[in-house]
Structure 1
């Protein structure tokens, strides 16, 4: 699946061991590994089926510079480390060997004896491209890349679909529980096909998959991965995953993967204490142990570790044609004192709390991925006010293309959870985001994190009786889709799921038989359709001239009204966040004539009360809000209405 695999010439000399086959790793490979600049690392290390001197077999290579001895063990040698010892290429700390007759599908691990003579637990291959089904932990020799991609045109133009002036509406998915299927097999083909059809019908532009990198514990949802180069065996083979990505592109869907370079679990078969030393992690627990998750933190100051992670990122965007990576827990990487009390962290060389090595790594990530995989984007989940997350490195920024707007999410959800009679006292929660809306390129996230661990589902967060809860959620979605910033909704949000998300069960699809749940689904579909068809709602997301408050201070009535503007197009968004209908509500507008009601979240088709403006309203020569003309609108209860002048242009 790699488009241009690098050929590794057999050159150089072995250091140790009695072997029938000479060394296969080239001196250039070893030099680049040692420098941390080998951009085809998984083509060099790991297990690779090949023919040597007319003999078919597999070449194994692993980085373990401090080990006394390393051997390959597997089904093919009864897991006996005495049979296939490896040769040390000391200049890079890499061990290698070639084993005849071993091939695709064979399971293997590395037997490592530490420098002090201790035999370590068997280690899985850090760069394995395939693993066996968890909870088993062996690596698997993968089939050589033979998949034929059909998305050449997509790959050549995918960057255009992810620019700041493009419509981006992301459907975040935990693949295993979107439509739960028990047992093994190619779930990418079965559930994947259904997911593609569904996301397309719902009008989303992107699917974002929670981590599918191999991980030992399913309850981590993938956020504690060990197989940074291997799609989890839970859903199928690497080739079947590639087929899913290709099918997404064929259907017009971009794919983003959650990717976790911040930390890794301490499972004995994994990266921890890999060669008897803190190889991948920091030896100092003040830098190497994550206090919240009891996981280990990568040593970003080590060239080989940075190379390992950067090449993992490239593996997904190059080999698997993934369109973007969403980097998890960026804040935990940036701050040395993250979740630590005084005395529990080590300052940087300037005495500060900034993790300079992590900053350098993130800047390098955001430089090398676009450079080597055109059109791919990198997105930050960063929950603090770190400056310049999406600014270029040349301007002192981290270089991400987008950042999740966690502030918007927290503020607006807090507002929506207040009883409607109290919202007048919290009005600024809905308006504050515009103070900093153009400081970064933002995505507005309603993610999985907001519907787990006792936080309740989005619907259950809404106050009032059953009707009001659905109406609140509809109004909130209308406000969100109108607000500047790209959109992200976690699966189940479009169903107004009653219960919290459960990773061991699929979504409550049966709820769609209810008119209110089905109405929310129709609303999200129609919001996506309107959003994608209306450049004023996305084209100027990063331009302050693309937004104007008309009413941002009506605390008494809890009403918000703003314009979205782009290249002569104008859209009016009005939200009434109380259950009281407002008749004859006057709003000054920049264009005279008839304004068409494009969407009303209180429409009967969405489960609403069908209060509205009969499809539109005409301006009158009544000055208001600094305009020469105004609209006299009916504002439905707990609803957002979206209008535009007929002709859609100024």
Structure 2
């Protein structure tokens, strides 16, 4: 022993040393690092279990300043310096020598403003404050770790860099925000890490993944990964400039919903999933050729269980490692934008899984969730519900949404399970839920959360599409918060989807008895701004494929699908279909499989695909087919009451009503010859689409263009005489529309 223990341990009590060596000390910086002795010298203490020796050397010259003494058998070393100098540690391990800086020589890291914003729930650049941030401090490179765990007794960073030993890097608590922090030199991008936490009673919790990690190990591994903060080399400035001036309500929006892992599998490599680079090479050209305006990805945030399809995420800031790195995902988005395709992400703020390494009882308490299971547990999904009454939790979720829009240039978020958030009694029997402060069933905290979320998003990213999957009649979902609404741009029209599929699944002989199912949607079509969805939810859990829902033999099923898609693309509302529907996939979606691309060898299925391609083309080309998606002035029924013949006809107008389209459907297998329909304008009407055309696999009885006659019909002085093919939809545009 070369130095008096009293000097090394000046001001430190024995029980603090014991707590430190046992991994129980909640304020390690009060013991470790440099501290002034009573005589003006400095004691430096380091805790390195397993080390055989430690030297303090000058940072600028590697000159020996002192050799530390082993002052506790558990691995605590100490030395006394006559004056404080910038030092490094030369650590002698049994099989190596390591030179590094002392994490406990650095002062507090996060500024008061960062801490204030975290506590207030308004730190919307949360990954810049919390998580793992590579940086250089005092010319020393390393990573600053920070995590919110206000009720923990002790929090440590563990990883490959410290042999996952929670005694090695306990963190400093910043009590004003409940945030723990530490800067660890020489940790670099790509390192794995977690947080080891002692709860307030001293119990050791399962090691936790970082709630705001920007990268994670591919499942089934669960560690967080230090992500690079270097900016991605974006090439999408032209796209960004164009989208700023776009009118998202008036423009054509046709969405291709995709599960990235099962769109296409590489069968030559054991049905391997494609990565983001491969999807850029295969999926993007396909979507562009098909004419869709957007790709919507089922949640790609990190999730432990692939069978949840991403709807039980644990990493709301990290692209899943299943398909590559965060940079690979940014590349995919960049390539989408280069191809003129927007990217929408499904985003899940409603709930999170109970996995012990995740958010559940993160610091030993119900931190992100509610304590009471009547508020905090989803019985349907066996998941936990975010506590939106906590500022920090609201801020965490809003920061996640903004991260995808800013860091990855995402064009919109489809918010999952909104209805489950809006109602306290969602899927609960009497006595299983807690009323709000007024005794009602509405979740007031969730309502305010959505208003705040959408206001912040639209302030920072006016172009962004905020889409609600909301399955009830909750009012004003797409009205602005200033008008008392939730502030979403669009809402999935679940009622239209259910009514339409119920009608189409009937044998055509019975459809006349359910004619109202196809017209009812227009009664409320402009109460919200709607997307018409045939989503993944309709092709799972025993529901079969969209193709399988259609009645009749194969020809009739495909003909029904063609007529349905023609009607859908002619109907007010933006469009969304799930992958595989465009080719008439015959089996239910399997997330472990692939779309049945071999069906395209069949002319019926390839014809359906060609139809969807052409529908997207004319939908985007003719303003009259998309202006009225959200504007009632853009729509009129031409025929709504011919239940006996199961015929429906719609008129679609552009903003100036100079361009007009007639969309007419025959939902029986019986041809209707010389069918007269009233039209608003005299002149020539060009047929731009017939779902029964041979090129789509139909019979080819097109009938062609039509000229109007001065014969009244359906309350109009002009009319067309049309032959309606069986199970078909035809679209005509007035001659003035061709130049409008």
* TM-score bracket for the superposition, by shorter chain length: over 0.9
Which of 670, 684, 707 is residue 618 of structure 1 equivalent to?
A: 707
The unaligned stretches of length 5 or more in structure 2 are 1-26, 33-103
TM-superposed CA distance for 1:159, in Å, is 4.0
TM-superposed CA distance for 1:626, in Å, is 1.6
Asked whether the equivalents of residues 214 and 225 of structure 1 are also in contact (C-alpha less than 8 Å), the reply is: yes
Asked whether the equivalents of residues 256 and 577 of structure 2 are also in contact (C-alpha less than 8 Å), the reply is: yes
Per the alignment, residue 634 of structure 1 pairs with 723
Per the alignment, residue 8 of structure 1 pairs with none
Moved over 3 A (4+): 13-17, 159-162, 181-186
User: Equivalents in 2 of 1:298, 1:481: separation in Å?
Assistant: 37
SS at match of 2:232: coil
TM-superposed CA distance for 1:624, in Å, is 1.1
User: Equivalents in 2 of 1:160, 1:419: separation in Å?
Assistant: 46
Per the alignment, residue 178 of structure 1 pairs with 263
Per the alignment, residue 436 of structure 1 pairs with 524
Per the alignment, residue 290 of structure 2 pairs with 202
Asked whether the equivalents of residues 188 and 226 of structure 2 are also in contact (C-alpha less than 8 Å), the reply is: yes
Per the alignment, residue 408 of structure 1 pairs with 496
User: Equivalents in 1 of 2:234, 2:156: separation in Å?
Assistant: 36
User: Equivalents in 2 of 1:118, 1:162: separation in Å?
Assistant: 55
Per the alignment, residue 171 of structure 2 pairs with 86
TM-superposed CA distance for 1:470, in Å, is 0.5
Q: How does 1:226-625 map to 2 (within 5 A)?
A: 226-566=314-654, 567=656, 568-613=658-703, 615-625=704-714
TM-score scaled to structure 2, two decimals? Answer: 0.85
User: Equivalents in 2 of 1:152, 1:644: separation in Å?
Assistant: 36
User: Equivalents in 1 of 2:147, 2:470: separation in Å?
Assistant: 33
The unaligned stretches of length 5 or more in structure 1 are 1-12
Asked whether the equivalents of residues 264 and 273 of structure 2 are also in contact (C-alpha less than 8 Å), the reply is: no
Q: Output one character per residue of 1:57-82: Cα deviation in whole Å (capped at 9) or x when no partner.
A: 11100000000000000011110000
TM-superposed CA distance for 1:628, in Å, is 1.5
User: Equivalents in 2 of 1:176, 1:55: separation in Å?
Assistant: 41
Q: Output one character per residue of 1:8-59: Cα deviation in whole Å (capped at 9) or x when no partner.
A: xxxxx99755322111111111111111111111111001111122221111
Per the alignment, residue 20 of structure 1 pairs with 105
User: Equivalents in 2 of 1:146, 1:393: separation in Å?
Assistant: 34
Asked whether the equivalents of residues 60 and 98 of structure 1 are also in contact (C-alpha less than 8 Å), the reply is: yes
User: Equivalents in 2 of 1:324, 1:559: separation in Å?
Assistant: 37
CA RMSD of aligned residues (A): 1.4
Quickly say closer, same or farther: Cα 1:531–1:565, change in 2 above 3 A: same
After alignment, is 619-628 or 449-458 more displaced? 619-628
Per the alignment, residue 9 of structure 1 pairs with none
Question: Higher relative CO (CA 8 A, sep ≥ 6), structure 1 or 2?
Answer: 1
Q: How does 1:131-150 map to 2 (within 5 A)?
A: 131-150=216-235
SS at match of 1:315: helix
Asked whether the equivalents of residues 28 and 171 of structure 2 are also in contact (C-alpha less than 8 Å), the reply is: no
TM-score scaled to structure 1, two decimals? Answer: 0.96
Asked whether the equivalents of residues 15 and 88 of structure 1 are also in contact (C-alpha less than 8 Å), the reply is: no
Asked whether the equivalents of residues 173 and 209 of structure 1 are also in contact (C-alpha less than 8 Å), the reply is: yes
After alignment, is 515-524 or 543-552 more displaced? 543-552
SS at match of 1:540: helix
User: Equivalents in 2 of 1:143, 1:345: separation in Å?
Assistant: 44
User: Equivalents in 2 of 1:622, 1:130: separation in Å?
Assistant: 67
Asked whether the equivalents of residues 157 and 375 of structure 1 are also in contact (C-alpha less than 8 Å), the reply is: no
Per the alignment, residue 74 of structure 1 pairs with 159
Per the alignment, residue 4 of structure 1 pairs with none
Quickly say closer, same or farther: Cα 1:185–1:526, change in 2 above 3 A: closer
TM-superposed CA distance for 1:193, in Å, is 2.2
TM-superposed CA distance for 1:329, in Å, is 0.2
Per the alignment, residue 313 of structure 2 pairs with 225
Per the alignment, residue 10 of structure 1 pairs with none
Asked whether the equivalents of residues 215 and 224 of structure 2 are also in contact (C-alpha less than 8 Å), the reply is: yes
Name the count of aligned residue pairs. 637
Which of 56, 64, 68 is residue 141 of structure 2 equivalent to?
A: 56
* Larger Rg belongs to: 2
